[in-house]
Every structure is written in C-alpha cells, then in structure tokens.
Structure 1
Amino acid sequence: MRKLFGTDGVRGTANTHPMTAEMALRIGAAVGRYFRRDASGVHRVVIGKDTRLSGYMLESALTAGLTSTGMNVLLLGPVPTPAVGLMTRSMRADLGVMISASHNPAEDNGIKFFGPDGFKLSDQAEIEIEALINAGVRPAQAQNIGRAKRVDDARFRYGERIKSSLPRDLRLDGLKVVVDCANGAAHRAAPEILWELGADVIPVGTAPDGLNINRGCGSTHPQAAAEQVVAHGAHVGIALDGDADRVIMIDETGTPADGDQLMALLAARWTAEGQLKGGALVATVMSNLGLERFLSARGIGLERTAVGDRYVVERMREGGFNLGGEQSGHIVMSDYATTGDGLMAGLHFLAEMVRSGQPASMLARQFAPVPQLLKNVRYAAGQAPLEMAPVQQAIAEAEAALAGAGRLLIRKSGTEPLIRVMAECEDEALLTRTVDSVVEAVADAVSAPA
C-alpha cells in the first residue's frame, strides 16, 4: 500500500514531513533510479513548479536527488501543471515533475510525477517508488552525475499548444475577459495567451509573492473574479487554481459555473459534431446527478470513477474516451492534453461563446443541478475517524434515511487531512439533516479524548 503518495502525488505542509528538503532529495533519488533502470543512453527529467516560496527549496533538493542518479534535469520554472505533461513528452524526457499543492494554501506544497508519455503515474508505479525511497538507492559514479539547466521558453511552448487546440481562424476580439490566476503558475501565461487571441484582458491574481497563492482568489474563491466581472462589465471570467489544472467559469452576472456545467457543454457540442469518442463522458462520483440526467437525455453515457483527475484519465485511456473531468474544474481533453488543463477548458468555453453568439450565462447553465451539500471535517494525524463505531453508525443511519431519495458519499481527502461528507437529494431539508448528522458524528469522534 502507498503511505507517502496520495491521490495526486506527495503533499503536505512545507518543511514538515514529508515535504522536507531531506525527503525531497530521497524522493528525487528514488524516482531517478526508477526511471533510469536502463543505465545506457541519456536520461532527462523536466521540473516545473508554481509560485510557492517553498518551491525553491524543493526544486533544489529534487534536482540534487535526481542528478545523483545520473538524470539530467531541465528546470522549467513557474508553469502550469499541464505544461509539465506536455514538455515531458515533447522534450523526450523520461520523467516529468511538478512541484505544487494545487489549490491548497501557500504553506502546503506537493510533488506530482508524469511518466515519459506525459501521463501521471499509476498506483503500482508509486508503490514501487515508495519501496525505493524506503530502501535507499545507490548513487551514480562520479563521472555519471547528471547536469541541470534552465529552459527559458517553457510557457511559450505551452501557449502555442493551448492555442493549437482551437480553430486556427478563431479570435476573441470584442470579448472582455477577467482571468484570475490565483497568484499561481499561470500568472504570466494565461493573460498573455488571452491577449494574443484578441481578448480584452482584465488580470486578477497575477502578483505572486510566494505566500499569496490561492489566498482569497482563484477557483477556490471565485467571488474575487466575480466581483471584477461585474465591476468591469466583462463578458466572462476564468478562475484558475494555483497550478492552473482546474477552472471555474464566471458568467456576465458574476455567477460561477463548476466543472459539471462545462463538461455538459463540451459533451453536447462534441456529440453534435461527432467528436465525442466512446459515446460517453468520464467523471467522478462527485459529479451531480443533474449532469447524469442531462447526458442520458442526449444519448450520452457517463462513466464514473474514484475522485482524482488521474483516475478519470486512467478510465479515459482504458475505454478510448476523449472527454472527462471533475466537478471541481479539472477538465481533461485527451485529444490535446494528458491531464486537466483549466486554461484550455476556459478557452474552449470562450470559443463556444464566439461560435454560438450566446452569453456566458446561457452556456454556463446547461442543466439544473440536484441539490448537493458538501462539508469537510478536519482530523489529526494518526486518527481514523471512518473506522470508529459511532461514525459508522451515523453513516448507516444517514444512508437509510436517503434510501431511494438520494445518495451519500463519505471519503477521506487524498490531499488534506479531511473527511469529506457529500449528499445529494431533491429534499433540501433531508439533505441538510443527513449531512449534518454525519459531520457531527465525525467531529465528535475526532475531538474525543484518546
């Protein structure tokens, strides 16, 4: 079993296990050895990062670990996570690394890995890498130590790839667009790409200082972009997260639209054009029942997976599907990218505005969502609240109350020490009562004396 890796790489509070320089060096050495099992030839890895202060520390430590096993390191600097997947493939690298904790606050950080095909690693690969971390690896001989160099044009290469996913003659002239970059990895790339396509750009969250990533802005705080859309009379807003792999759209009234609405729009459009492969959309168990009903009415299937964009991608690859994502805003268009790309998804929404002539408020409301309530309960290290009898009893009672009327989903977050309690039900009073009963049981269990 994996102990170090979560649903999206390794993540935690910076300078606290496992996000220490020492552990990053060990991780770098282990993953370098894993991808350099064949010692012949030239081996290279690309490393990108977001704008967190701790990124400097982790970048240096990973570079030391990787070069110690003979890997040559190409440092991309601050770039979106999907750029790392792209550059891993285009630069013929053995491995790609993204240093980011995505939507988490600045004090957190994480390390994500991409294989030579540009896709995130499988659970099995992570298990094998963990074994190498625990066992330790033999460093390369002195004459075989790797080199490191900086790559200065990574975001420009990424920008060209993003634009190539749109029709060549498409322009955004006349569109006033607010783009909130969450003071993160896309703070330069996103405004540049929109401007190059002709949009009138109003940037938000483009002044990172190492400590303000995701703070009161970005996809986790869409009200910041919404306020600017209304204040500037913009046609639409794009709110990215810290590493720009997810997006929340904002219509001209300042109303946010999540990933489910965007996936519904794209699935319907691609079906009409004969572009949707496999006749289905891939989404997680968190996606709204309203999305499922919308797709079913149009003869489109819905494949559900565990939470995590890499599980979505794995199912897409297994089934030959080309569209998938998460309610949180990870949108995966595998014809163009190997992972969720918030900016690319936002651009395709803008392209539909141009094509259809409809306002964002029409396009962002594809279906009426079934009432859904999600609450989180934080727990301490070493606790296992879902294994506690009172919590299990509360969950059983909640499931019985919702039987035939809705659904309940309880899970541990793979990126934070949180228990996520989500329910879906047309009866909002029952919905609230059910979620609160489980949340209260979990909160009581984690606060009780040991």
Structure 2
Amino acid sequence: MARKYFGTDGIRGLTNQSPMTAAMAMQVGMAAGAHFRRGDHRHRVVIGKDTRLSGYMIENALVAGFTSVGMDVVLVGPMPTPAVAMLTQSMRADIGVMISASHNPYHDNGIKLFGPDGYKLSDADELAIEALIDGEVPLAPAAEIGRARRVEDARGRYIHAAKSTFPADLRLDGLKVVVDCANGAAYQVAPSALWELGADVVAIGVKPDGLNVNDGVGSTAPQLLCETVVASGAHIGIALDGDADRLIVADENGTVVDGDQLMATIAGAWAREGRLVGGGLVATVMSNLGLERYLGSQGIALERTGVGDRYVLERMRSGGFNVGGEQSGHIILSDYGTTGDGLVAALQILAELVRSGRPASEVLRRFEPVPQLLRNVKFARGAKPLEAPAVRTVIAEAEAELEGRGRLVIRASGTEPVIRVMAEGDDANQVETVVARICDAVRVAAG
C-alpha cells in the first residue's frame, strides 16, 4: 500500500505548505503519540531538531500534538539525527522525533520518527500513523495531558557516546582537522568531540542563523571545506550535512572523498581486524562499480539495495551486516548506532589515518571509480514520465548497450519531483551519451 505522507526518510516538504505545516505537525504528534501509547506507564517522546528557523514552529506544534494525547515530551534542542535515535533508546522513550530536512535548504523541513528501539519506523508503523492522521485520534482527559521539559545534558551524553566509539588506545594529538558542520545540528557537538580527543580543530559552518543551513557549506557543498583544508595545512577535512547523519571527507590536497571510498576504508580496516560481520557490506544501487570490484578483490561481498538508508539498514539487520551506507555519505555502523552517523563514521576514518601514519590521500583512495554520471530531470507533481512507452524503449536500448560494461539506474526521487538518471561504465563517452539520451526522453514525456 502506498504511503500518503511518508517518503523515503520521514515527512518532508516546503515549510508552511502541505504537508509541512504546523497543523500537520500537530496531527503527526497526535497520531504518532496515539500509535505508540502501549501499556499503562507514563509515556515519553524525545524531540530534537536542526537549526532551521521553521524548527521552532514545527517543534511547538509537535509538543501540542504529543501532550494532547498524554505523552510527556523531552526537548533536546539542536542535535544530530543519530543523537536523537540514541537518546530515544537510552532514555527509554516510546518514540523519538527529529525535525530536519537533512541536506535540503532552510526553507524545507521534515519530521523523522524513531521507535523505542531507536530505529526508523517500519512501513507498517508509518501506514498506521497515516491512518490516524486522516482519522480521529482520542485525546487524553484533562488530568492526563502530557508535560514538556528541556534537558540540558543531551549534548554531553551524545559527545560521550560518540567518543566511546574511537579506539581507546589512540588519540588525535598532532592531527589538524577541519570540520564543516553545515551550520546545522552538529555545530556544537562535532568540534567539541574532536577537540576532546586531541585534534587541532578548525571549525567552519558553525554559525547558524536559521537561514544558512547547508548554504554553501556541508557535505553537499564541500568546496569551502576543500579550500580551508589546503589553506590551513590540515591533514584532513570532514563535512557533515544539516542533521549530521552524512559524511564527506577532503584529503590533505583538498580532494573530495565520497561515501564509497569511506565505506571501502572502514570495511577493509574492520575485515583486517576481524570485526567485519556478515562477510561484506551493504550499499545501494548508486554505489560505484569500482567499489564492487575492489571489495571483490579483497574477498568482501557487496550487497546492493534500493536508494535510501532505511533500505540499507533493513538489509543489514536481516543479513547480520555491521557496515553499510550510501555513496552520498550515509554510513551506518550498527555496532555503534541505529542510523547513519557522520561523526562516528568520521572517527573510524580518523582512527585508520592515525594507525597508518600515512596521508589521507593514500589511506582513503582504495579504488579507481569507473566513470559515473548522474543527472536530474524535473517533472510536474502527478506526472509519471517513466511509464511513457518512448522512455521505456530508450531505457531498454541503453541497458542493452551497457550490458557487461556498466550499469544503469533510473528512479524517481523520494523527496522531490525529479527523475534521477545514473549510468556508469568503463567508457566515459558512452556513459554521457546514454544519460543524455534518457534525460531527453524523460523531458519530452514530462512535458
């Protein structure tokens, strides 16, 4: 059954337009609260957010919704998504909420929900909540309305948890690290954790004003990170996104290192140490063919899923893997958390850098990526260009052309009205031609 409000990563949209309105946020709070009211204990929800101006509006609306159905609310303020997941579990909450649109601009916002185990909700839970949103939710009697309070030690709890994932026998002393927090949720915790572990920290993207999250900074805009690494003579740079569940790295030369190389580095190190569980790692269909070939040469399997960290995590849990992620930098290390965590993943990379004693450009370049091209084609909401016969014909021809020499991945985005067309193969010219041909066909079909 198709979901009405939930996409691949919660509910997301332009603020003050459906579905991302204060009224909808209150309904989500009521519905999610009602769905997770089980047993006769005092129910609790943890709510965190990133630094978007609209976070105040959405937060207050959620508080109204949750308290109206009898749930107590714990507010932790600006915190990374993985911190909210961790706090939900450690504080024995019945549900966790992160208010964020991740790497999107400030004018978007979103609501991500976590169950009491700290994992993102299943499709079944999301469908049940959607039914309550569109239905009638029983309100709590006046004497049973929930209470809301802010906790002051949330940042310290998360910093301690993140630092505990770094090998106890290592320090970052003598390592100069640029950290770009995207003017987002990790602007306080990430620099603090790195500094406490001994690093010489150069922090950028740490002056949020409500409107500058992901604006020319962060994992989706790494140019400033690269420039700062070179200008400051740093050994490495790490960039997080707005809610800090994503990681992109720049080596000492200012060259970007994507999630595929980072996963290869972590999986290789863990395999060497006997820590890699499941015999391989889990990545999506978007990961480069070069990653697959490299892992195969190391005796490490690669399992692919659909796009979205929730699908990566589902396969990790069902197959017993402890490393997975996406080329975009969502890296899930299930030994340490229930969702992607940019800071924790960065600490694994820094540990490998310290152990090797070699430059980041050598340590993190595990394979040569094959030429890969991704282009987006916008379409009007409601249109279905991928179902057009002409588009299907062009795609079939392209698949036949690339067979044995590359891959083709075409999908509709789960968060915005665009078709993503990706091709990769050993011949860069062929890849570019194939992508252009498909994009042209999709544009015509989309009108």
Whether TM exceeds 0.5 here: the answer is yes
Distance in 2 (alpha carbons) for counterparts of 1:149 and 1:384: 46
Following superposition, the deviation at residue 280 of structure 1 comes to 1.2
What are the residue-to-residue correspondences of 1:343-422 with 2, within 5 Å?
Answer: 343-422=343-422
Instruction: Could you tell me which runs of 5 or more consecutive residues in structure 1 were left unpaired when the two chains were aligned.
Output: none
Following superposition, the deviation at residue 413 of structure 1 comes to 1.0
Distance in 1 (alpha carbons) for counterparts of 2:284 and 2:301: 13
Residue type at the aligned position of 1:422? M
1:136 lines up with 2:136 in the alignment: yes
Distance in 2 (alpha carbons) for counterparts of 1:443 and 1:180: 36
- CA deviations on 1:45-94 (whole Å, 9 max, x unpaired) are 00000000110000001111111111100001000000011000100000
Range moving further from structure 2, 69-78 or 168-177:
168-177
Following superposition, the deviation at residue 118 of structure 1 comes to 0.5
Following superposition, the deviation at residue 275 of structure 1 comes to 0.4
Distance in 2 (alpha carbons) for counterparts of 1:63 and 1:377: 38
Q: Which residue of the partner structure matches residue 208 of structure 1?
A: 208
1:14 lines up with 2:15 in the alignment: yes
SS at 2:149 equivalent:
strand
Please tell me whether the aligned partners of residues 63 and 148 of structure 1 are also in contact (alpha carbons under 8 angstroms).
yes
Q: Which residue of the partner structure matches residue 28 of structure 1?
A: 29
SS at 1:407 equivalent:
strand
1:281 lines up with 2:278 in the alignment: no
Residue type at the aligned position of 1:12? G
Distance in 1 (alpha carbons) for counterparts of 2:228 and 2:67: 45
Distance in 1 (alpha carbons) for counterparts of 2:38 and 2:384: 37
Tell me the TM-score normalized by structure 2: 0.98
Following superposition, the deviation at residue 167 of structure 1 comes to 1.6
Q: Which residue of the partner structure matches residue 445 of structure 2?
A: 445
Q: Kindly tell me the number of residue pairs found equivalent between the two proteins.
A: 446
SS at 1:310 equivalent:
helix
Following superposition, the deviation at residue 37 of structure 1 comes to 3.9
Please tell me whether the aligned partners of residues 26 and 136 of structure 1 are also in contact (alpha carbons under 8 angstroms).
no
Residue type at the aligned position of 2:284? T
Distance in 2 (alpha carbons) for counterparts of 1:384 and 1:148: 44
What are the residue-to-residue correspondences of 1:225-240 with 2, within 5 Å?
Answer: 225-240=225-240
Distance in 1 (alpha carbons) for counterparts of 2:266 and 2:371: 22
Range moving further from structure 2, 369-378 or 390-399:
390-399
Q: Which residue of the partner structure matches residue 82 of structure 1?
A: 82
Please tell me whether the aligned partners of residues 165 and 347 of structure 2 are also in contact (alpha carbons under 8 angstroms).
no
Distance in 1 (alpha carbons) for counterparts of 2:377 and 2:4: 21
Instruction: Could you tell me which runs of 5 or more consecutive residues in structure 2 were left unpaired when the two chains were aligned.
Output: none
Distance in 1 (alpha carbons) for counterparts of 2:411 and 2:298: 31
Q: Identity across aligned pairs (percent)? A: 66
Following superposition, the deviation at residue 141 of structure 1 comes to 0.9
Distance in 2 (alpha carbons) for counterparts of 1:342 and 1:379: 32
SS at 2:343 equivalent:
helix
Following superposition, the deviation at residue 259 of structure 1 comes to 0.7
What is the CA RMSD across the aligned residues, in angstroms? Answer: 1.0
Please tell me whether the aligned partners of residues 85 and 114 of structure 1 are also in contact (alpha carbons under 8 angstroms).
yes
SS at 1:277 equivalent:
coil
Following superposition, the deviation at residue 347 of structure 1 comes to 1.3
SS at 1:248 equivalent:
strand
Residue type at the aligned position of 1:395? I
Range moving further from structure 2, 313-322 or 377-386:
377-386
Residue type at the aligned position of 2:332? V
Please tell me whether the aligned partners of residues 70 and 144 of structure 2 are also in contact (alpha carbons under 8 angstroms).
yes
What are the residue-to-residue correspondences of 1:210-289 with 2, within 5 Å?
Answer: 210-289=210-289
Residue type at the aligned position of 1:388? A
SS at 1:135 equivalent:
coil
- CA deviations on 1:135-156 (whole Å, 9 max, x unpaired) are 1311111111111000111111
1:188 lines up with 2:185 in the alignment: no
Distance in 1 (alpha carbons) for counterparts of 2:109 and 2:367: 36
Please tell me whether the aligned partners of residues 46 and 74 of structure 2 are also in contact (alpha carbons under 8 angstroms).
yes
Distance in 1 (alpha carbons) for counterparts of 2:411 and 2:355: 40
Range moving further from structure 2, 136-145 or 179-188:
136-145
1:149 lines up with 2:149 in the alignment: yes
Following superposition, the deviation at residue 391 of structure 1 comes to 2.2
